[in-house]
Every structure is written in C-alpha cells, then in structure tokens.
Structure 1
C-alpha cells in the first residue's frame, strides 16, 4: 500500500497549472460572436468586415494556382524561406513604389495576413507593461493583440478626422509610450481618413518624442472618391520609425491569408525571428500563386470593378440611413474602405438593441467593443461591402422597425 492512501481508494489527482494570466485577461472578439448570430441565410448582415465574395477573381486565382503547380510543383510544395517568396516581395515592392513609396523588397516580410504582422510586431517591440497608444475607437483585434503582449493600451481622443494631434501630444508627454498604432486610411471601425496635415503632425510628434508608428493599411486601395493621402511611412520625419502593414485580403481574397509588413532593418530582422518561432514561413504554394496572379492578371483593373461596386453599395447604405435610424442619429460618408460609423441619439444602447435587430433578420456591430477607453454605447459600425444595393435597401427596411420596436 502506498503511504498516505487508503486501501481501495483512488489516488489523489492534482489540478493542472492555470492558464497564463494574459489568456485569462483577453476576451474573445465580440464581433466574431455577433457573426455567429447572423449565420442564418435570411439575415442581412451589416456586421462583418468581409469583402464581397461574388467579386473575387476566382478564375484568375485558380489559373495562378494551376500554373505554379504545373510548372514548379517541387518548389511550391516544399518548405521556403521565412522572409517570403522573392517574386511576391518584389511585386509588393513594385506596387508600393507605383503608389509613391519606393521600397526595397528586402524591407518586406510576408505574413499570414496583416493580423500576424501585428502579433510579430508586438512580440518584437513590446515588453509587459509597455504603453501603446491607439485611436479611440480602434481595430478590435489590435486591442486583443496588444493585450496578449501584456501592454498597457491607452486611447487617444479622436474626432471626425481621426486622431487629434493635440490630444496625441498630451498623451505622449503623459504616458511616454513605445508605440502608436493607427489605421489612418478608411479606419476600422469608423471609415475615417486622417488628413495630410494631421499625418505630418503625427510624424513630427513621433520624431520629436521618440516612438514607433504602426501604420495599418488594409483598406488603402479601396478608395472610390477623393484624393489619395500619402502614407505616414512616406513622410520624411516618420520614415525611420514607421512600420507599414498591408494585406491581400481586401484586394485579392481573405482565404489566401497573405499580408506583409515593411519595416526598418533591425525591427524587420526581429520580426523574422519571431515568425520562425511561430510558423517558419507562410504557405509556399499560396505565396507562389499570389506572385503569379500579380504577374499574369491585372489587379488594378480588378480593383476598379471592386471600387465601383463598393461605391454603389456605400451610397445605398448612406442614402438609406435617414429613414432607418431614429431621428437625431448621425453618420459619416467615407470616401472608401468598407465601413460607415453611425451614432444613435442619447439614451440608445446599440448593444442591447442588437438582439431585436437579429430577430428582424438584420444585424450590425455595436461600437462599444472598439473603444479602449469608456465606450460609446450609442455607436454602431455598418459594413456595406457584402450586399447588393437592393439587399442593403431591404436590410435597412428591416432595421428601422427593429430599432423602433426595441426603443418603444
């Protein structure tokens, strides 16, 4: 008999060690939970930030896969380098140069979507307790990423034009952050674009006070009106401290799961090491097919069709909101991207109203989860990309009665 046990009794079982504190402190995405509510096909959802699937160039993408698997099967089905397919990096560098940002392909790292780029940068830059400044509201998954890194996330006041430079200067002086994270063009969730004058002020603050700038740009090529605004990364005062993130998800297809980051040499090297520890490299065949697609197909012509379709859908949504939302509501009219940001009158709670909306077979995303500071419960995000103008009109016809029923 083993000492300390009774004959016939089961041995004691010790509990397993607990999860890491960061895993317990960072919740799941409320947006993902909302999307689960909208899986019924009859629901018209303005919730997901998804590109329109009927606009994917599936024929061109299929041809690219066929060609690389026919011509180079041994290479594209083998392990590859962490930095990424040289042809793909060269193609990205060429597109950046064409848009005003000369780039050496060696300054690029291919990632599993720009979401992985966020993780790599958090790993390479942030110690637990470091301060990160963010727009308020900001991209929800970035808040999760910084939370997992143990960072202290501090919001910076924004207005209709994005981050307020005066508020940013005060926050930098008060908080001494290591990093400022921005989605300056067609921001998620608000659709706002930071004007050039403010970008220059942001660059000046970063240079003067010594902080990294993380410029997330998944939507920049989806402009359908107005003049383009230069990247922060292209401004002389920010060039040595700006990391630019991009993605093929919104311009090619999210299922390919490819993005990239452009960074100064030392930081890029640290991100390469971090990626090696995560997944060695992105899918070789997916990278090769993406590079082949960019070489063989006219992505710009494809994007022209996408932009025109999105413009019509934006117009259908914005033009129909007056009849759908309660009197006193406000909303913006973005010049591109995928989102409209709306605010219901005081006293309305977009989160509590959502369940009634879903009961009317329509959905949106409440704005509250996007705030790092005190949330605005009256705010909501509406995506216009995944439905035709006729479907958008029908969705708004459902949303109006839902809001009136819940509020009444």
Structure 2
C-alpha cells in the first residue's frame, strides 16, 4: 500500500531489543542488554547538578545551539584533555547519545554503495545503520587483541576492498567481545588510514570502565603522535555507560570540515540536543563528580566480571571458551558444538537470557558464540544465572543425542 524507501521495505529491528520483552517476566535474570547497573547511578550527584542547572531555569528550558551548550563543550574539552586528547570547540559537537553521531556521520560521508569497513563481530546498531545507508559492508575479524590489522592491511593492499570511506571500531573493551586493541595495532591502524585515506570511526563508550591492566591512549590521542593521522579520526563518546543513559548526552570529536557538516545535518534531525540534560551534564562534570564516582563503578564491574568468569568456569568447565576482559561490560564466549539460538530457547525456559552471537555478524555468523553482560545483575544473580545457563546447556546437549 505504501511506497516505502528501499531500506524500510523489509526492515529488521535490533535483535537485542527483541529480547527486552522477556525482562518483565518474574524472576528473569538478564545477561542480554548492555545496561549499566542502575544501583550505581550517582543519583545524589545528578540531583545536585540538576538543581544547579535549573538556576536560572530559563536558560536550560530554551532552545540551544545545534553543536551543544558552550558550558558542556568546555567541560568535554577538559575531559578529553584529561583522557590525553586535545580538541578545540569547533572540532566538537554534542549529540543525543553517540549513536546519533554515527548516524549524522553516515549522512554526510557515505553514499549508497560506498564501502565501509567494520570489525567483526560488531555492535548490531552500527550494522543496522550501515544497511539503512545502503553501504557495502566489508568486515575484518578481531581476536583477543582487537581488530586484526594485518588482515586489514592485506585486504587493502590486494585491492579487494576498493576505496573504503571509513572503518568503524570499538577499540577499548569492544562491544560485543570485550577485546582491547593493542597499542601496536592502534598505531598500525592509523598509519593505514593515512595511507589509504579512510576515516577511522572510534566509538569509545567504555574506555573509562577499566578495572584491570594498564590504560592505553585512545585512537584520537594516539593520532596526535602520527603525522597526518588526526585528519582521519572521528571519535565518539558519551556519558551513557559512565553516568546515566537517561541523560542521552554524547559527543563527536573530528576534523572541522566533518563536524561542521554534521552540525548542519543535525539541524534537520532535532535542532539541538536537550539543553536541559546538557546543562545537568555540564554541572556534573564541572563539579568533578565523574572523577569522584567512577572508581566506585569500575570496582563494582571488576567484581561482577570476576564473578561471571569464575561461575562460567565452575559450571561449564571445558565446554565454554572465553577471554576475561580488563574492563567494559561484556564477556564474549563460545560453546563449540552448540547453537546459541537453541541454547537461548532453553535458557528462556530457565529464566535467564543472553544475546546469541549471530546478532553481531554482518554475514556468516558464528552460531556457537554468545555475548554476556555482567554490568546490571548483582553477584548473586550472576551466579544463579550461570547455574540456569548450565541447565539450559544440558537440555540442548540431551536433545541433540540420538535416542
């Protein structure tokens, strides 16, 4: 009946959000969504920040600049400097979550049919955004040390991947794998971007959530030490995972010509991100509340991660394969010989959910893989959830045996 555009004739929604319908079931334990722990929100700090932001109220209740409130931009510039990356105000734009930044970047940079590169497995919303833009997706595998840059180099050198517009990566505590790109690979990736002239899109929502190991410079910070590399990096970050997703405060840092065009694109989307929540975020950052509260979050996530990994080893033993991350919110696992979608069916019956790995692949999926988020459930729920997963696993194994 309706003449929908090509991308929306047979659209598919987020495979992760499809699982949210189970969250309301009594007794359900979720390892599925990448939700931060709500009991770790700095409610009092945000309340005080909101009180300050509301005085005078007329300022935060009015329309604001498309590129962001000046007060918020000043605080983000200072935050980025503390993270080792310098930027000017005209290289920075506030966004409604970092996902909006990616959408705007694709609008101004990618034509239908253009080649875009992404690590695989990858964040599903990114794959969805690429498909809706009608880009040609080319994937590069990752391992425990992030995207395999040597394979990317071979792909580029062979000509098999002609003139890519950009490469998307979550280099620090990746979603879904939890992997972190090594310093050597970061430098090699940036060198390839300069040589082949493609934009490296660094999505960095988890970089502050390190609870083990030594910190690494972001790609944006690393680019300052490689001639010409800063011209080819667009950096996204947000407060969603480290303060509260309800603020919907994110930002983009990139070359001025890219940011300027994204600002124009944003004018047709929402005019400006909410000045109200921007003002709250600005007050919260200005008070130093993030630096004060962040250690509490990372310590708690470290405990939860160790609980999950310990429980997986105890309950599933050699049947499960995974690498324990040094930060972030996710553990990526494999159960060789098991289809994770079949496992999910049994797991739902046992009142526990996770995300099958197929959601994170652009093409042929690893059916034995799955993503587990340890951030939201408490330690007791994590242990019980893994026990339920073991029962689901045993049910799948039993069903697969010949009678």
TM norm structure 1: 0.94
2:112 aligns to what?
A: 128
Cα contact 1:139–1:189 (8 A) shared by 2: yes
The Cα shift of 1:211 comes to 0.7
The root-mean-square deviation of aligned C-alpha atoms, in Å, is: 1.2
Candidates 137, 143, 147, aligned match of 2:131: 147
The Cα shift of 1:295 comes to 1.4
Candidates 102, 119, 138, aligned match of 2:103: 119
For residues 218-233 of structure 1, the aligned pairs below 5 Å read 218-233=205-220
Question: How far, CA to CA, are the matches of 1:204 and 1:327 in structure 2?
Answer: 39
For structure 1, which segment, 287-296 or 255-264, has the greater mean C-alpha deviation from structure 2 after superposition?
287-296
For residues 24-43 of structure 1, the aligned pairs below 5 Å read 24-43=9-28
2:193 maps to 1:206: yes
1:8 aligns to what?
A: none
1:314 aligns to what?
A: 305
Candidates 276, 289, 312, aligned match of 1:285: 276
SS at match of 2:139: strand
The Cα shift of 1:107 comes to 1.3
Candidates 77, 87, 95, aligned match of 2:79: 95
1:80 aligns to what?
A: 64
SS at match of 1:188: coil
Unaligned runs of 5+ in 2: 399-403
The Cα shift of 1:363 comes to 1.0
Cα contact 2:31–2:374 (8 A) shared by 1: yes
The Cα shift of 1:251 comes to 1.0
Q: 1:286 to 1:44 in 2, by over 3 A?
A: same
For residues 6-405 of structure 1, the aligned pairs below 5 Å read 15=1, 17-69=2-54, 71-172=55-156, 173-176=159-162, 177-234=164-221, 235=223, 236-237=226-227, 238-325=229-316, 327-345=318-336, 347-405=337-395
1:87-113 CA distance string (max 9 Å, x none): 111111101111211121221100000
The Cα shift of 1:160 comes to 1.9
The Cα shift of 1:326 comes to 6.2
The Cα shift of 1:387 comes to 1.3
SS at match of 2:9: helix
The Cα shift of 1:25 comes to 4.7
Q: How many residues align?
A: 391
1:114-156 CA distance string (max 9 Å, x none): 0101100010110000010001100110001111111111111
Structure with larger Rg: 1
Cα contact 2:73–2:92 (8 A) shared by 1: yes
